[in-house]
Structure 1
Amino acid sequence: MAELTNDVISSMEELINKVQSVISSKVVANGNEIVEIHVLSDNSRSAKQIARDVQSVLMAEFNIDINYKIISVAQIETGGRAYNDNRLAFVSLTCVNTGINMEATVTLTRGTEIYEGVARGLNTSRNKNRIIVNATIDCLSKIISDEHNLILEDVDIFPIAKNHVVVVALTHATHQYEEMLVGSCLIKKDEGEAAVKATLDALNRRLITILNN
């Protein structure tokens, strides 16, 4: 079994959040022992089914045999659809060229809240999407605490199945750990919009864990 560092616990929560019907989760450890797992889910599946799935994914990924008695599942009515107010959604992207420089403004929503982020830089073909991703990160800096730092490592475009996809790599760093987050988005109409959505793809599940902690 892996040592239960904060990084490992965060990875467990991220994995649990991928279980069908799960909205968010919290793993509580005492030393190197998991003592509680709290799960928030919609009501599309029974709590017993969800708890079994949590047991299974933790055994498969981390080789940890969890007693079902420490898993508590709280369910909420979602009108037949999974919903999470913590999940970010894209609203708009505006790019303004000012000679050699470019300014990107990204607008996102989370629930009823609206956030705007701005970034500037040299207006080159290679740098444009980096500016857009940094504007998206600027939005996130207004949502998460100063303890969490997001750094753009790379953004690139790759051909796949006669289409193109934007891939974004970020580092999420705190005083306790750092991790690489990667997201992607198929370019349908606008390359810049795809860059924003690839950033959100990398961050949305991790954001749930950050906000719940």
Structure 2
Amino acid sequence: MPSKLAVDNVVSKLPGVHSARIVYDESGEMVEIHVLADITKPAKQLVRDIETAIYASTGIKIDRKIVSIAQISLDSNDEDEAVVRPYQKEEVQGYNFQLTSLETRATTRRLDITVVLDYDGKELEGSSIVDVGDDEKYMAIVESTVAAIREVIPSFRIEFIEKLEYGMTEIVMAVGSSLVNGKRKREAGARLCKKDSLNDFALVVLEIINKI
């Protein structure tokens, strides 16, 4: 069986792919493939390329459904004009969660984070607490956003989230899932991180849930 690193390298070196993370189960079988790519190719073509590359290099035929792709364009020099285009594998229901506010309150020992969402006129609130010195306080924002969403969709969760470096820019990429018709449906999202903006971590979560 080829090494996990070898498979990661095959996918990462495909034209248009900026980074790839492959999740394996206990038996070593690929169960999730998360890819951040540019928009030079249609997402469906990129999925076929990934399937072909893995089969050609390893002899393993994957199920296309395990591939999640987020596409990002940096055609503009202005980060605010950059575009993120997540791959949609099928029609979505079209939830409409909107970020109303994100509030942080710091004391000498802890940081309280409260996220308020609007869902069709209904106010939803989620909160989380983190040590004030924790460098990964963005996870508390994600937890707060998920907690608010779960008031409406209890099965929703974030399965993967990571900050990536792309040149001088930071990108947050995430994968979330929820039960749809009794089956867990997964979607990916990605956003460019503006300087000192914590909102992006809440917004990438909303991007995902609004596609499920």
Specify the structure having the higher radius of gyration (Cα).
1
